[in-house]
Structures are given as structure tokens and as C-alpha cells.
Structure 1
Amino acid sequence: MQTRPSNPNLRSLTGLRFVAMLPVFLTHAAFEGVFSDAKASWGFLDAMGNTGYVAVSFFFVLSGFVITWSYRPTDTPRKFWRRRFFRVFPNHLATYLLALVLITSVGLSVGLLPSVTQLFLVQSWVPDPAFTDTGNSVSWSLAVDVVFYALFPVLLVLVNKIAPARLWYWVGAAVVGVAAVPAIALTALPDTPQMPLGGVSVSQYWFAYFFPLFRLLECLLGMLMARIVLTGKWIRLPVLPAALLVVLAYWAAQQVPYLFRLSAVTVLPVALLTAACAVADADGRGTVFSGRVMVWFGELSFAFYLLHNLVLKYGHLLLGHTEEEGELVGHTWSVPTGIALIAAGFAVSLLLAWLLHNGVEKPAMRRWSRARAKTPVTEVIGALPVKDGAI
């Protein structure tokens, strides 16, 4: 039984979404290699390290936490699926079409089958970079979300059946499961062909990072943490120590093999920070992430996520490129100019995110996320004009 009333207004977690979005943006900016100085380009990429991976793990944990926290007894699977569909698909479709326009504008092409799988958000099931790297490549994570949303009503029933006193044991099991995935990948899958970075094979990387069924473990962990808070089993860990645990876990992750850095070492501290911020909001204390400006940025984070890599990748190519070994390579610039272009990419992404959020995301949610109430027949008849005793 829940001892704390659920409260969907988690301002700190909304603000924290954009904080997590920053390393994702900067990591993708580093991959663009805009600096003419190779040392500076590699230094930028090394500095970002695995921060983007940790941020993506946070988004999966956050999704499980928030959806469980805000679910109401009056909700039905159909209502839930409708809200999720109109929360995700309009933005996805808009950015998918934009990606096709940008691809054409730089003279590239995309395979029919990969583009179809991306449109229907099933590309992450295919262990081939041609499917996950095509078009608006960041939408691979939506393919994980779609599976989670589809299974959520069943998962919630199962999670709600766990006795509150045993929830932390299940958290431990979920964390062990997350850590087991890269171990299985390294043991059971071939180590060739290799990825350009990380010293792991394409199939090993796909198995540990893209495969939806295993990323569901992080969503499930978020659900368990929400139940822990709702049932009064939280350990009262404050936000600052929880944030420090994330930093320490990130440092520790740099000491282990590559695939374990993606989420295995950091997922528990990330989950603890998520719960700590939610408790602070529920108790009315707020955090540094709950201010008006942070929340405004956080509200744009989903649109920003879907747009930022399109701006970085195709904006880079549109500014000038050459063809090397059959691939388009963008121009490079001095470090000050490169930094200015990255900052401009951030500003353009933010502006486009504001337009997408207010022009597509919010109108779609208002118009279609809930079924319109049917007007009773008696009210319709009563509103009709009456003349000569007839209706």
C-alpha cells in the first residue's frame, strides 16, 4: 500500500532532465570533430568520456520512475498508451521528416528498410549500425521506450505485488541484471568486427547498449525506486550526497572495461539521485534543479534531444564538406571558431526545440492525449430550439 500520495509535479526531475541533456549534446558535438587541431578534437572527446552514456541511462531510469509515480488508479492501459503515443510520436514524426529533408539536402541517401524501421521505432532490435545510425539516429532510444510503454501495465502489476519490505532486494537484483548484460556480451558474442572506439565488437556493443529488452532493466529500476518512495521505504539520502555518489561512480567506471562503463557501475547512484530529487520535491523542499529557468529548459529537453544531433551533424555538413573514401566529412576550424559554432548549434537546437515543443508537442497532447468526453444525448436535445411544441 502506498503511504505517500503520488505527485506528478516533480520539478527537480524536470530540471535535471536538461542537466543530463548537456553531456549528450556535448558528446555528439565532440564526435563531429570541428577542430582543425586533431589534439584538441581528441581532447574534447576524451573529456566527455562516458558522460553521454550515463545521461542516457538516467533517462531510462527517469522514465520508469516518473510514469510509476504519476500513474493513477483510474488509469487504464488504453488511456496510458494513448497518452504515451501522443507524447512521443508527433515529435518523432516531425524530426524524422526533418532528418529526411536534411539528408537529401547534403546529397546523402538512406536505405528503405532502415528508414522504415526508424519510422516505426523498431530499429534498435536490429544488430546493424545501418539501422541505428541512420536518419535521426538518437531516436533509437525511443524504440526502447516504446517497448517499455507497451509492457508497463503488466510490469506495474508485478511491481505492485512486491512486498514493500522486499523492494530493495529487487533493486539489487535489477542492478545485478544491468551489470550482467555486458558480461554476457563479452562472453557469448564474437569480438569482431570491432567498433572504432572501445575495443569491442559491433554485436557486443549493440547487445549492451541498444537491445531494448536489456535497457528495460533500467526502466524497471526506476519503477522500483518510485515504489520505494511511495511506500515509505526510502533511506532519506539527501540530494547532494546522492549527486556525489554519481560522480564517484563515474570515476570508478573509468577503471573497468568499456562495456561496463555504459551503465553497469553508475545505474544505482543515478537511481538514488532520481529518488532523492523526487522526495525533495514531494516534501516541498525543492532543489537547485527545481527553479523556474531549470524547469523551462527541462520542459524542452525531449524536443531538444530529438533535434540536437540533426543540427550538429547536418549543420556541420551544410557549412562545407568533402568526400573521403565514400563518406562526407565536414570542414574543420580553429578552436575559437569551432567553440563558437558548437555554441551556435546549441542555440539553434534550443530555438527549434521551443518551436517543436510549442508547435507540435503541446498541441498534440492537448488535442489527442485524452479522449473527448461525450456529450449526453439529453444535453444535446435540451440545446436544440423548440418550435410549435416540436423538437
Structure 2
Amino acid sequence: MTGLQRDLGFIPRLEALRGLAAVSVVAYHAFGQFIDSHVTGLAPVVLFFVLSGFVLARSLARGPTIGEFFRHRVFRLFPAAIAVVLLLTALHAQFGFYVGFLPDFSTVNVLMNALMLKHDINGPMWSMTVEILATPLILLSFWICRRHGWRTMLPFAMILFGLSFIGPYVHLLGGFSNLAPLYAFIAGVMLHFAGSELVKSSRDSSVWIAALFSGALLLYCGFQKQTAPIILLETISSGGLIAIISFAPISLFSFLDAGVSRFFGQVSYSFYLLHLIGLSVALRITSIAGWPVASALLTAVLAVALTTPLAWLSWRYIERPFVRWGRSFRQATQVAPEPAA
């Protein structure tokens, strides 16, 4: 393995960070069910967006063709999402079960949800709708950064930040979708090109301070009303955490090496897609009259417990096989040719 390939290799702590963020979404949603507040769970989603831009930029740097890149995205994202939409459709047909507001389960609407063009059947999939839209933006950002430097993308990110103050733009995709943090994907791509230089030029003590500050700032913003400035701070703090974890693996983040953290990192995508099912069931059996905080904590714990086995099954029998299948196409095209006679 060359030095470049090592530098672009898999970073287990980032996967674990994504897993913990997915679990925190459950806590945010459970908290909002019992306490009247502005908490929505958007902060972890902003982290997902920055992380997607960063990880996909690293993937593109390893040299796949555009066709391979898109094929990998299709096999990575769609099978588990389609399975969850079909599961919710079946649960509604059999038991009248649904999550959130009662959606339209007509054939056309189910198909639109399965293709991530809509997300009314499973509300959290709004972020996947935005991520699908952001894929060409990530490609363009990577190409511009590689050709002209990461600073070239700053004006584009600033334009999108300016648009995040405009309601019609923010809700352009309809439903629960939110385009305000779209520039977070660009931030992730720029971080791929600039993160190492920014982190390694800092002293060890400064890195620790930056890590603690980034984590505290992200947590603080997560409990605020999600205005455009707050989302910007979430993007900056998420970028700080991702850069430090990637380029300065300090012991502060050793908890991300734990087996439980790694496990939730592996199943994080399916966990995020399925968590409203676990939360909906938990809400029906955990409410304690007069104890909203205790109810929220108990609901979150039970929701995680109910969602985890479903997420593992989805990861084991849907995500992994389809990812392997997607990679097999590339391997099939790389078979060595027969030697000439």
C-alpha cells in the first residue's frame, strides 16, 4: 500500500462518530416529544453532511471513475432505504402503523419515497433527499478544489450560506427537507484538501482545546433554534471534530475505539433510517405523567434498544450484500486479459 493510499484509507473513528451521532438523533427526537423546545435533531444531521462531503472527497481521491462513484452511491444508499419504505408500507397495510403524520401509501407515493424523491412515509429520509441532490455538488466541489485549490470554493459556500436565510430556498424540496445546511457538503470536501494542513500546523495543546471547544459548541447548538447562523456554527464545529479525528488522532477520542462505538458506526445508516419505528413503539409504553425529563430519557433508551436489532439485520442482510455486489462490478472489469499466443 502506498503512502497516498494509506492517507486515504478507512478511518474507524469517523465511522464510530457517525454511529454516535445517529444514536443522538433518537435522544433529540425523544426529548422533543415531552418538552416544548426548539430541539429538532438537526445538529447531528449537519455533522452527517460535513462527514459525507469529507468521506466522498477521500473516495474520489482514490481514483474511481464517475460511473463507479455513482454506482457505489446507488448500491450504498438505496437498498436499505427502499427496504424501510416497503417495511413501513407493509406495517401500515397489516396493522395501520405509521410514523409521524399519516402519509399517503398509494403506489405512486411509495415509489417516490423509495426513490428518495419524497420522504413523507419516513420523515428522517429528508436528509437522504438532500444528500442525493448534493451528490453532483460534491463532485463539482472536488473537481474545483483539486484543480484550483480549496479556497476557490469559499465564495460558493458563502453564497449557499446567504441563501440559507431565505425561506423559499430552505424549503424548496418540500416536506421536512431543509436546504439550509447544503453548504456543509462543500465544507466537508474543502476539509479533505485543507484539514491536514490546518491541524498539523497547530500545537498539541491547541488541538485539544479545539477538540473540546468543537464538541461543546456542537452540543450547545443542537439545543438551540436552528437558525442560519446556528447551522453555520454546527458546520464549523462538525468540521473541527472531523479534521482533528482524521489528522490528529488524540487520546481524547479513544472512546470511539470501543466496540460499542464501532458497532453503532457500522449500523448507523440503517439505524438512522429505522429509528422512528423504535421511537414510535417506545412512546406508546414509556410516558410517565408529570415526569417529562424521565419520560424522555426512558423513551430514548428503549427506542435505541428496539431499533438496534432491526438496524443490525438491515446492515447484515441488506447493506453489506448490496455494497459487495456494487463492488463486484468493478472487480469484474479488472480481470486480467488472456496472454497473447
Shorter-chain TM band: 0.7 to 0.9
User: Aligned residue for 1:152?
Assistant: 138
Give the deviation of 1:278 after TM superposition. 0.7
2:332 matches 1:373: yes
User: Aligned residue for 1:276?
Assistant: 244
- Of 64-73 and 339-348, the range deviating more from structure 2: 339-348
Gapped runs of 5+ residues in structure 2? none
Gapped runs of 5+ residues in structure 1? 34-40, 124-131, 190-202, 320-330, 380-391
User: Aligned residue for 1:322?
Assistant: none
Task: Output the aligned Cα RMSD.
Answer: 3.6
- Of 176-185 and 295-304, the range deviating more from structure 2: 176-185
Q: How many residues align?
A: 323
Rounded Cα–Cα distance in structure 2 between residues aligned with 1:358 and 1:303: 10
Does the CA-based 8 Å contact 2:281-2:303 persist in structure 1? no
User: Aligned residue for 1:9?
Assistant: 10
Does the CA-based 8 Å contact 2:42-2:226 persist in structure 1? no
SS in 1 for 2:110: helix
- Of 295-304 and 235-244, the range deviating more from structure 2: 235-244
Post-superposition CA distance 1:157-202 (Å, at most 9, x none): 11212336x46xx45862x4454234222xx78xxxxxxxxxxxxx
Give the deviation of 1:26 after TM superposition. 1.3
Rounded Cα–Cα distance in structure 2 between residues aligned with 1:333 and 1:254: 23
2:270 matches 1:303: yes
User: Aligned residue for 2:214?
Assistant: 245
> What is the aligned counterpart of 1:359 among 317, 323, 329?
317
Paired AA for residue 121 in structure 1? M
1:159-178 aligned within 5 A? 159-163=145-149, 166=151, 170-171=153-154, 174=157, 176-177=158-159
Paired AA for residue 182 in structure 2? L
Rounded Cα–Cα distance in structure 1 between residues aligned with 2:230 and 2:176: 7
> What is the aligned counterpart of 2:184 among 201, 208, 218?
218
Paired AA for residue 147 in structure 1? L
User: Aligned residue for 1:138?
Assistant: 124
Could you say which structure has the larger radius of gyration? Answer: 1
Paired AA for residue 123 in structure 2? S
> What is the aligned counterpart of 2:304 among 321, 332, 346?
346
1:53-92 aligned within 5 A? 53-92=42-81
User: Aligned residue for 2:111?
Assistant: 116
Identity of aligned residues (%): 21
Rounded Cα–Cα distance in structure 2 between residues aligned with 1:153 and 1:252: 29
Give the deviation of 1:73 after TM superposition. 4.7
Post-superposition CA distance 1:327-370 (Å, at most 9, x none): xxxx9444467754542221110111111111111111112333
